[in-house]
Chains A and B, each alone.
Chain A
Amino acid sequence: MIEGILIGLHTALSLKNILMVMMGCFFGTIIGMLPGLGPMTAIALMIPITYGFEPATGLILMAGVYYGAVFGGSTSSILINAPGVPGTVATAFDGYPMAQQGKAGKALAIAAYSSFAGGTISAIFLLFAAPSLSKISLAFRSPDYFALMVLGLTAVSAFSSKGQFLKAMMMVILGLMLSTVGQDSLSDITRFTFNNMNLTDGISFVLIVMATFAMSEALTIILKGKDPSRATEQISLSQLGSIRLDKEERNKMLKSIPRSSVLGFLIGVLPGAGATIASFLAYGMERNYVNDDEKQKFGKGSVHGLAAPETANNAACSGSFVPLLTLGIPGSGTTAVMLGALLGFGIQPGPRLYMTNPEIFWSVIMSMYIGMVILLILNLPLIPYIARVLATPKNFLIPLILFFSVTGIYLMSFNNFDIFLMIGIAVVATFLRLYNFPMPPLILAFVLGGLMEENLRRSLLISDGSFNFLWDRPLTLIILLFTISIISWQSLRPLIGR
């Protein structure tokens, strides 16, 4: 492991990679800050750029963007009560009231320190947990992988559906259907191409992500007619106040950070959970931990109420890398995007990644530390300046997002069929989002589709066409029982609610 850490440090500390982390954190913060644009959009916009780099460098850039976007989301939550990402919704509960009390600088500083602490502590957990989990995951066979993918898709649907599980499951099926377009990986038979040569290689993953996130976000902003810049005018940037914390505030923050870090990391490891659930659970847990006086301050600018979700959402980001790096199965929409990018580099993440590509495995983990430090250094002094990005008028912002989306796709294929396909998918996605059909399950399903079919194929061939493989191995059975319990809970919840 020490050797691996040294390899990782060597790779991550190269000038090019440090520059990539810095760039990633900076652009991630800016994109994450803009309401409606989250880490998935930020990473999606970066993918075409990363294809020009080595895999480790590309992944380091994306990891930086990921952390930056999560932090950027909290800045807009605190300053204008408009969370840039769902994971920072809980941050607004106490961050925005603090800003209204003229303590925006303090709130941003608490968010920066908590993000740093949560991210760093969970990166340490990841350092020790990932190799051990890789060894355990070597015991996984095709039926287990298939079951795990079903669990991941079910869990993401359950958590991202906001009570509309069936809609999310339909999106899963749509994502899987889209993944079957093109040549079958084993028999080379073309499927669902309608004799169109442009579809023979299937639909590009980047195209799907750009269409369902970046482009669809832009169209949704126009459709809903909300002007983020108008909201920005509500708070004067000169009213940020001091970013220095007093002793009492520091003590409160130090109490919240350790427990929220552990909780955030564990939630992040679970497939489908992630930063949003981690931040809400941490907020609720913190409220239960503090005394009655402090409880009264929740929702009115409590330091505990701000530090806990901010710590947990960054800790969950590191945690979500565990299933990605050790099992090759993304636990969230964002890590699904990163898996797609890795596959684009020709790298299959999984239990053997840290043996076959140790420089990628370890450099990503080490770059998380560096990313955290850079985020802190970058964000604290630059807060007043970065916050000005919030004033970008949508009249300029939307066309630029469309430009980066279209150009990103065009640069990959130099073919305008992909542009038309992307626009078509983006229009459908915008309409579906309007009616609360969630997109993360679709993305996760699209990424996992090929792997899922491959593992189902192997399982069925081994069991000679029988579905006994679903309960033959205890591990498969346990994973499926988890899946059934999630489906049962989602089905019974309305009845219990009544």
Chain B
Amino acid sequence: MRISTDKIISLLFFILSGLYLYQTYQIQVFSFDENAPFNAKTFPTFLAYLGMFLSILYLILPERFPSKVDHKVLDYKSTFFLVTIAFIYGFTILKAGFFLSTSLFLFISYYLLGERRWIWMFVLSFPFVALFMLLLHGALDIYLRDPFLKMLGIIS
């Protein structure tokens, strides 16, 4: 028997609803609220049961329009690399500062997506981020902590 990906997703949703229900029962409500008509557990409990009910319904009912995804034409490699460098960007933004990490993130992303026009890649990364920072500092009064620029003595 073959089970479609849609059904697997609904099975995962069933498990998620079950875990959510378990977590709902872990919520510590005040003792005077325990038997109240409504407490912090009530709404999540409804949601968990409703989630389980809907996913079971999807699992048992025949599928009218199962999703057809052609995995051969999907570019998983580029997507994976892009997500990875976005994660790295998240890690470095506090340590290296906004300017350097963002500029490098943009430059590397352009490169990974196949861009090789170096001048455009440079213009749309380092000067572009500098301009953006200038706009934030000058026009919107938003201060961005930047250890790298501070080290270079550009910002205080």
A-to-B contact residues, CB < 8 Å: 49, 52, 162-164, 166-167, 169-170, 173-174, 176-177, 180, 184, 186-187, 189, 191-192, 219, 222-225, 393-396, 398-400, 402-403, 406-407, 410-411, 414, 416, 419-420, 423, 427, 430, 432, 434-437, 452-453, 456-457, 460-461, 463-465, 494
Question: Would A170 and B47 be within 8 Å (CB), given that A396-B110, A396-B120 are in contact?
Answer: no
Q: Which residues of B contact A177 (CB under 8 A)?
A: 20, 44, 47, 51
Closest to A403 in B: B106
Decide if A395 touches B65 in the complex (CB within 8 Å). no
Decide if B30 touches A187 in the complex (CB within 8 Å). yes
Decide if A402 touches B109 in the complex (CB within 8 Å). yes
- 5 example contacts (A-B, Cβ-Cβ < 8 A) are as follows A166-B54, A187-B39, A225-B75, A461-B36, A465-B37
Decide if B6 touches A435 in the complex (CB within 8 Å). yes
- What mask results when residues 47 to 75 of chain B are scored 1 for a CB within 8 Å of chain A, else 0? 10011001101100100110101000111
Partner of A167, one of B6, B20, B90, B114: B6
CA distance A177 to B2 in the complex (A): 30
Least Cβ distance of A423 to chain B in Å? 5
Question: Would A395 and B54 be within 8 Å (CB), given that A174-B13, A419-B89, A420-B90 are in contact?
Answer: no
Decide if A191 touches B40 in the complex (CB within 8 Å). yes
Closest to A193 in B: B23
Other than A187-B40, A396-B120, give 11 A-B pairs with Cβ distance below 8 A: A163-B65, A166-B10, A166-B61, A174-B13, A177-B44, A219-B82, A399-B109, A406-B89, A420-B90, A430-B79, A464-B37
Least Cβ distance of A29 to chain B in Å? 21
Question: Would A222 and B79 be within 8 Å (CB), given that A173-B47, A191-B27 are in contact?
Answer: yes
Decide if A223 touches B113 in the complex (CB within 8 Å). no
Q: Which residues of B contact A419 (CB under 8 A)?
A: 86, 89-90, 93
Decide if B51 touches A434 in the complex (CB within 8 Å). no
Q: Which residues of B contact A187 (CB under 8 A)?
A: 29-30, 33, 39-40
Q: Which residues of A contact B110 (CB under 8 A)?
A: 395-396, 399
CA distance A456 to B38 in the complex (A): 9
Decide if A410 touches B40 in the complex (CB within 8 Å). no
Question: Would A396 and B74 be within 8 Å (CB), given that A435-B9, A435-B67, A453-B43 are in contact?
Answer: no
Question: Dominant SS at the B interface?
Answer: helix
Partner of B54, one of A49, A169, A432: A169
- Give residues 80-131 of B contacting A (CB, 8 Å): 82-83, 86-87, 89-91, 93-94, 98, 102, 105-106, 109-110, 113-115, 120, 124
Q: Which residues of B contact A437 (CB under 8 A)?
A: 9
Partner of A407, one of B102, B124, B140: B102
CA distance A124 to B50 in the complex (A): 42
Decide if A399 touches B105 in the complex (CB within 8 Å). yes
CA distance A452 to B54 in the complex (A): 19
Q: Which residues of A contact B36 (CB under 8 A)?
A: 461
CA distance A225 to B69 in the complex (A): 13
Decide if A170 touches B38 in the complex (CB within 8 Å). no
Partner of B40, one of A49, A184, A464: A184
Decide if B79 touches A219 in the complex (CB within 8 Å). yes
Least Cβ distance of A435 to chain B in Å? 4
Q: Which residues of B contact A180 (CB under 8 A)?
A: 43-44, 47
CA distance A52 to B83 in the complex (A): 29
